Structure 1
Amino acid sequence: MDGCAEMIEQEMRAGLRAFFKVPYLLEQGMNCLEEKLRETLLFGRMTVLHYRGFGGTGKDIYRAAAAVELMILSLDIIDDLQDKDNQNSVWCRLSPEIALNIALGMLTLSQHMLVSGNFPLERANAAAGLMSEQVLAAINGQTVDLLNDIESEEAYLEMVRQKSAGLLAAACLIGTLLAGGEVLEEVRAYAEELGIAAQMKNDIRDLLNWDNKNDFWNRKKTLPTLHLLQSITGEQRWIADYFEGRLQLADVAHCREEIERILEQSGTLLYSSVRMRTHYYNYLDLVGRLGLASEWKEQILAMAD
């Protein structure tokens, strides 16, 4: 997997240069891309890893992995424009109209890059269809997230499966599909477990991050905040009042230390951490059952670090 990220980066840049014809669109699209490239490109690397692990050869997979990453970036941009909780990003500093155009361009480009590569047409079309289905699932999940009316852990998990966990599974499945022509359900199963664990980790972080994107201040329904709301005592009903809109941020902004104490006493942080680790251990167990050589299993497991 040496040089994998660099090859994916090259394909992403080449895609934008080929199809973003308006100079300003290309310039700002590249700026958005450069911010994305500060990350680990987990989704694209997972696509390449599963392609190689399941017998795929050649360099065409980097174009497909770039398509996956462009799809992820486009959805990230759209999510941030809708959620308004990541104002420091390059795309949120652009006018919403331009940022949305960049996102739509990248999303369309991701499909084009999948179907215009050198893979057998049947596999390329199947991969593009899989990506389209997952984007539609993510749109449904994002709508549930935006409505913020999740009332149970089951509804929360379904939303996560539609969004982040499903997107990670799609990245892995596109790799296996291009390699062998099959959508492998055992791969979907462990990828979803890893995606759920990662989302829960993010939710715990966003509950404790008081400076930016705090889920308590934003009244966001996640696994930790659902547990908190179910655990509060009578004298803590002001928390439910805040989440239900009967109190405003100015009414509770001075309560940070008390909120931290309640999070600890209610077992919210411990419960959320245990649930996160449970899904992570499920991931380890399911990967261990794969009929792959140990070197590929080790690399797949290493992606969770």
Structure 2
Amino acid sequence: MEQTIRRMEQAMKESVEAHFVLPQLREMALACLEQKLSESMLFGKMTMLHYRMYKGEDDERIYRAAAAVELMILSLDMIDDVQDQDNPAVPWSAYRPEIALNLALGMLMIAQRLLLESGFEPERAQQAARLLSMQVLTAVHGQTLDLLNDIPDEDAYLAMVSQKSAALLVCGCMIGTVLATGEWKEQVRGYAEQLGIAAQIKNDIRDLANWTDKNDFLNRKLTLPTLFLLQAVTDEDRWVIDYYEGRLSMEEVRHRREELEAILEKTGTMLYSSVRMRTHYYRFLELLEQLELEEGWRDQMLALAE
């Protein structure tokens, strides 16, 4: 796997160097790429795994396709951070927003071009490129719902997540599948979506526990954990609702971390959220079992899903 990851990374670097011709822009793009290469690269790995799982030929084409998927994810991460302004640790947060957006748009266009020029049969390459466009558009709708932060209940939250982060995991898995088979496989979509939902709930639990500027409570984000919290608090902890409804400022609650942690414990917010996360993960496992894969493929999938 390490060798295949390096080949995917090399395809990403070569594409960025070739297509960002303005030196300043190329330098910033490569800095953004270095940040991306330090992360899990889950989406590209899933693309390569599904391609091989469905008997695709192991050659340079699939590394370019996986590179396209990861560049797409990088572009959307950059746009998301520009919109949310809650992730100062990444390189693009240090750039002027309009420059960061230009970089992100460039990454997205490179991803599309990489798929179309990957070397696969034209019909399958075009099918993969259409799939990427379709899933990005779905994610744009999901991101808009997230930015509007007008999520009334858990069903609305799950619908938003299915359109946002889960749709992108479906994209990575399905591009590998389509390039190998030429077919959209509904079972792949089903388990990828469940895994994506589980991963997002896990992130939301983390972003509620981590008391920084990215903390979902401080930012009044409506997620599965915070929706449960707002329903579960008692009158004696009414300040939690007052903060969410704007009657208290951030400065008035920022020092109340230990108090909030006690409320999270008392209401069972984290426990409930963990159970919901595991429910979707177990559904992923059930749908994965229905494929009746050889043990080796199943093990690789589970290793990536950890």
What TM-score, normalized by structure 2, do the two folds share?
0.98
> What is the count of residue pairs matched by the alignment?
305
SS in 2 for 1:303: helix
User: Which residue does the alignment assign to 1:24?
Assistant: 24
User: Which residue does the alignment assign to 1:191?
Assistant: 192
- CA shift digits 1:85-105 (9 cap, x unpaired): 001110001111211111000
Q: Is the 8 A contact 2:71 2:108 kept in 1?
A: yes
User: Which residue does the alignment assign to 2:64?
Assistant: 63
Provide the C-alpha distance between the structure 2 equivalents of 1:254 and 1:41, rounded to a whole number of angstroms.
36
User: Which residue does the alignment assign to 1:129?
Assistant: 130
1:264-279 map, 5 Å: 264-279=265-280
SS in 1 for 2:184: coil
* 2:245 corresponds to 1:252: no
SS in 2 for 1:215: coil
- CA shift digits 1:12-65 (9 cap, x unpaired): 001111111011111000000001000121100100000000010132100000
1:166-185 map, 5 Å: 166-185=167-186
Provide the C-alpha distance between the structure 1 equivalents of 2:117 and 2:262, rounded to a whole number of angstroms.
55
Structure 1 stretches of at least 4 aligned residues deviating more than 2 Å after TM superposition: none
User: Which residue does the alignment assign to 1:200?
Assistant: 201
**Offset at 1:211?**
2.8
1:82-161 map, 5 Å: 82-161=83-162
Provide the C-alpha distance between the structure 1 equivalents of 2:129 and 2:192, rounded to a whole number of angstroms.
19
Letter in 1 for 2:210: N
Provide the C-alpha distance between the structure 1 equivalents of 2:282 and 2:101, rounded to a whole number of angstroms.
38
Letter in 1 for 2:22: V
**Offset at 1:2?**
4.2
Q: Is the 8 A contact 1:287 1:301 kept in 2?
A: no
Letter in 2 for 1:147: L
Provide the C-alpha distance between the structure 2 equivalents of 1:286 and 1:302, rounded to a whole number of angstroms.
16
SS in 1 for 2:215: coil
User: Which residue does the alignment assign to 1:14?
Assistant: 14
Share of identical aligned residues, percent? 59
Provide the C-alpha distance between the structure 1 equivalents of 2:16 and 2:23, rounded to a whole number of angstroms.
11
Provide the C-alpha distance between the structure 2 equivalents of 1:257 and 1:297, rounded to a whole number of angstroms.
42
Q: Is the 8 A contact 2:79 2:104 kept in 1?
A: yes
**Offset at 1:212?**
4.1
What TM-score, normalized by structure 1, do the two folds share?
0.98
